[in-house]
Amino acid sequence: PARATRRGGSVVVGGAASGDGHASSQRDDEADNEKDAILSLLRCIDRHHVKMFGSVRCSHCLEQKELLGGKKKHLPFFVECVDDEKQRELCRFLNVTGYPTWIKFSSVDDKTIERRRAGVMQLNALQRFADCNRSPL
């Protein structure tokens, strides 16, 4: 069995220091790359006329927001279907019955629907749905 001992400020397990800066730096770089990829996806979603219809009280919408960088994060493409009367009419007009519902419009006027999908989407599925296939997630 591996034995843990302290050597200086690091913990040594089976002879290898687990507190070295290289592993920590690599994790930080990976986290930064993931954040950059998510920000790129968010900009692409907005540019490609994709809207997320939902409610701030919907647990699945909160789950989707968490995947996109945080529950409190403002998403310019989010349409509130419950608490905003004007947006609620739009949701009814578009027959949004479950949350979240993703709709990709063919243009910025939000009149012609290219495709729609209900439910939480993983980032790679959302990337394909929004036609944001340039940078892998």
pLDDT tens profile 59-72: 999 999 999 988 77
pLDDT of residue 34: 82
CA 93 to CA 29: how far, in whole Å?
A: 44
The answer, as to whether pTM is greater than 0.85, is no
pLDDT of residue 133: 81
CA 70 to CA 62: how far, in whole Å?
A: 8
CA 23 to CA 17: how far, in whole Å?
A: 10
pLDDT of residue 32: 75
Residues of the chain with confidence (pLDDT) below 70: 1-27, 29-31, 110, 134-137
Report residue 53 as tokens: 């219809």
CA 115 to CA 27: how far, in whole Å?
A: 37
pLDDT of residue 68: 93
CA 18 to CA 4: how far, in whole Å?
A: 10
Taking the chain, what is the end-to-end CA distance rounded to the nearest angstrom?
38
